[in-house]
């Protein structure tokens, strides 16, 4: 993917046109957006109730495999909707304008082991401010993967095709460990700070609550069919993990997404900020249902440009962003979901080897 270099005046005009789109959209926010998110919440709660009821009922049904699969599927869909379209977007403050305490970014607690407050710091503050800036944005490989040739190669990179699969299966735990810098916390105990210790205590408390709900409380309520419910909850959580992982990786690591040195932040203008978000992100295309299930993070470019705008607005904003990019000759990275998955997979495997550019000299892990 070729990126056009904009002159300072072109960059200023580019930023002004993106800013104008943001201003127009924010001026239009209101009842339409409130109705949308409340409808999604109702659907999510209905799916969760149906899923848990079907899992309970599966033990009594002669059609056990079918009822169990339907219950597990409904519960997985509920968890995906809650995490992606509701939790992620509410925690970005996209619905703070409603003044509804149940949709407040400061009080919402989502159905995942990562405490909301820690996620707001690692994601909203660090990732969205320093998107793809090497050494600053720790989402760039999540401190364990080599996703850019400029990252030094170490022998551990050889394992990253396998560790990527494990991360996908356990993605909520990877997200939970992110703000703490868990590798450093575990392997350099002398450098632990009181802030880190407090975050670990908060993480354990949240994880205990989540584990107790899905693997103790609801199974016990099912009595003799506790294992049916436990297994359904486990599979639903894994499905949610894998789907979230795919959405996030396809939005950040396909071929063509750029990374930046820390110097890129020096004197960065508004237009420069938008351009960095654009070049560091990628979209994937699909149906309306696919967009909803991804929390509209299928439009990762627009999400990085407008993180506090209700995400269901991204498809209509994307048409204008794409037109502006075309006007200035700026590349816009968008493809089908399968293409982006394949692109990410090839990059993960290619960068597992030192011959894939960058520093080919092994360094200490």
Among the residue ranges 125-139, 278-292, 351-365, the one predicted with the least confidence is 351-365
CA 111 to chain centre: 14
The Cα 104–Cα 33 span in angstroms is: 14
Q: For residue range 161-208, what is the model confidence (pLDDT) as tens digits?
A: 999 999 999 999 999 988 888 888 888 988 899 999 999 999 999 999
Q: For residue range 224-274, what is the model confidence (pLDDT) as tens digits?
A: 999 999 999 999 999 999 999 999 999 999 999 999 999 999 999 999 999
| pLDDT exceeds cutoff 80 at 320 | yes
Q: For residue range 140-156, what is the model confidence (pLDDT) as tens digits?
A: 888 889 999 988 899 99
Residue percentage of the chain with pLDDT more than 90: 84
| pLDDT exceeds cutoff 80 at 358 | no
Among the residue ranges 70-79, 128-137, 288-297, the one predicted with the least confidence is 128-137
Q: For residue range 15-68, what is the model confidence (pLDDT) as tens digits?
A: 999 999 999 999 999 999 999 999 999 999 999 999 999 999 998 888 999 999
Residues with Cβ within 8 Å of residue 203, at least 6 apart in sequence: 113, 114, 115, 118, 176, 177, 180
- Higher-confidence residue of 226 and 365: namely 226
Q: What is the average pLDDT across 107-112?
A: 96
For residue 357, the model assigns a pLDDT of 55
Cα dist from 18 to 13, 14, 275, 360, 364, whole Å: 9, 6, 10, 39, 43
For residue 362, the model assigns a pLDDT of 35
Residues with Cβ within 8 Å of residue 276, at least 6 apart in sequence: 131, 132, 260, 264, 268
Q: What is the average pLDDT across 342-356?
A: 91
């Amino acid at each position: 993917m070729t990126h056009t270099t904009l002159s300072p005046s072109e960059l200023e005009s580019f930023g002004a046109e993106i800013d104008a789109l943001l201003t127009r959209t924010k001026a239009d926010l209101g009842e339409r957006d409130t109705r949308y998110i409340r409808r999604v919440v109702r659907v999510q709660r209905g799916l969760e109730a149906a899923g848990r009821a079907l899992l309970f009922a599966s033990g009594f049904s002669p059609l056990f495999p079918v009822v169990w699969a339907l219950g597990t599927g409904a519960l997985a869909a509920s968890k995906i909707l809650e995490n992606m379209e509701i939790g992620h977007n509410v925690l970005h403050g996209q619905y703070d304008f409603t003044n509804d305490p149940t949709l407040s970014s400061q009080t919402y607690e989502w159905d995942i082991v990562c405490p909301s407050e820690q996620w707001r710091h690692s994601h909203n503050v660090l990732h969205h401010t320093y998107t793809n800036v090497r050494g600053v944005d720790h989402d760039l490989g999540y401190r364990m993967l080599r996703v850019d040739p400029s990252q030094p190669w170490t022998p551990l990179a050889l394992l990253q095709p396998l560790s990527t699969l494990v991360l996908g299966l356990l993605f909520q735990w990877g997200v939970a460990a992110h703000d703490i810098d868990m590798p450093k916390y575990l392997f350099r105990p002398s450098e632990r700070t009181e802030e880190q210790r407090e975050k670990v205590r908060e993480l354990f408390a949240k994880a205990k609550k989540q584990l107790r709900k899905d693997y103790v409380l609801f199974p016990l309520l099912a009595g003799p069919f506790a294992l049916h419910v436990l297994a359904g909850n486990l599979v639903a959580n894994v499905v949610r993990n894998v789907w979230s992982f795919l959405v996030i990786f396809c939005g950040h690591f396909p071929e063509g997404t750029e990374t930046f040195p820390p110097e890129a932040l020096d004197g960065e203008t508004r237009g420069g900020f938008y351009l960095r978000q654009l070049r560091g992100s990628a979209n994937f295309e699909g149906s309306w249902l696919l967009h909803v299930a991804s929390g509209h993070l299928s439009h990762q470019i627009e999400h990085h440009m407008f993180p506090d705008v209700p995400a269901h607005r991204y498809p209509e904003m994307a048409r204008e962003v794409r037109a502006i990019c075309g006007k200035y000759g700026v590349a816009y990275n968008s493809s089908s979901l399968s293409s982006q998955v394949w692109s990410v997979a090839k990059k993960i495997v290619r960068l597992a080897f030192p011959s894939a550019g960058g520093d080919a000299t092994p360094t200490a892990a």
